[in-house]
Amino acid sequence: MAFSPDLAVDVPLDVIETTALAAVRITAFLVVAPPFANKGVPGPVKVALGLGLALVVQARLPRVATTSVAPLVGDVALQALIGLALGFLVWLVFAAVQSAGGLIDLFGGFQLATAFDPLNLVNGATFARLYQLLVVALLVASDAHHVMLLGLVRSFDSLPIGMGLAPAALAKASISGLTGMTVSALQIAGPLIVVLFLADVGLGLLTRVAPALNAFAMGFPLKILLTVSLGGYVVLTMPGVLAGLSGTATHLMQGVQP
């Protein structure tokens, strides 16, 4: 069976441009949003995944065609901005888990064991890094990353290619995400923080009753023991918390519209 050397496939220019712009938005989202933003995911993989998803969703998108370079560059910059903004909102929601780990490290005495995290290129203590890795593993295991990708695809309905971001809506979503992150971090780490605070109060009362006992010398070992012993109960609540955070992230992405 011979193939003709003159065989050619004609692809309309508007299809190529629409696919490229969708790929820019999706790739920018993957660069910022967890779990894809993890440094363990190479950059070429993010680009390939963004292009593959763009090829899938381009059939349902309105065609975009420009006649000069300047509007095309503007559209590329706009799609990159939208993707980064949506990814930032998702990151802001899931940062609550790492913030909860940071609070536990602070009150439990693990803050002194700060070390460099090569996957996220940040410094973090024991529980902050543990919860960060745990949320990435749970996101993949529970298919929550599919929910976020579905929310990203639906963003093309509320923010079609060629339409800009509404600054007021973005600011409102950012404030809502920041508030939700703070509340979620306190909800996750709150019970353990209360236990550690009561331990400090008990040690203070013991020092007042028996000053020669030097109860605060036992403070660090006791708080570390309580943190390690009760930290597992916080981990048990993580799947339910993760489901709520995934829904919140999707809601925030859908709320950024003119």
**Tens of pLDDT, residue by residue, the chain (258 residues):** 454 555 555 666 777 788 888 888 889 888 888 888 777 778 888 888 888 888 888 888 777 777 677 777 888 888 888 888 888 888 888 888 878 888 887 777 776 666 555 555 556 667 777 777 787 787 778 777 787 888 888 888 777 887 777 777 777 877 877 887 788 888 888 888 888 888 878 877 877 777 766 766 777 777 778 887 777 777 777 777 777 777 777 777 776 655
Query: What's the pLDDT score for residue 184?
Result: 80
Domain locations along the chain: 13-255
Q: What is the pTM of this model?
A: 0.77
Q: Could you tell me how many residues make up the chain?
A: 258
How confident is the model at residue 149, as a pLDDT? 83
**Residue of 29, 30, 157, 7 lying closest to 83 (CA atoms):** 29
Determine the residue type at 134.
Answer: L
For residue 207, count other CB atoms closer than 10 A to its CB. Answer: 16
The distance between the two most distant Cα atoms of the chain, rounded to a whole number of Å, is: 97
Give the residue from 168, 167, 162, 169 showing the smallest Cα distance to 24.
Answer: 162
Q: Which two tokens stand for residue 41?
A: 């995911």
Q: What is the pLDDT of residue 256?
A: 66
The DSSP secondary-structure symbol of 120 reads: T
> What residues are paired with 123 via a beta bridge?
116
What's the confidence (pLDDT) of residue 10? 62
What is the enclosing helix (H) or strand (E) of 123? strand 122-124
**25 Ramachandran zone, left/alpha/beta (phi>0; psi -120 to 50):** alpha
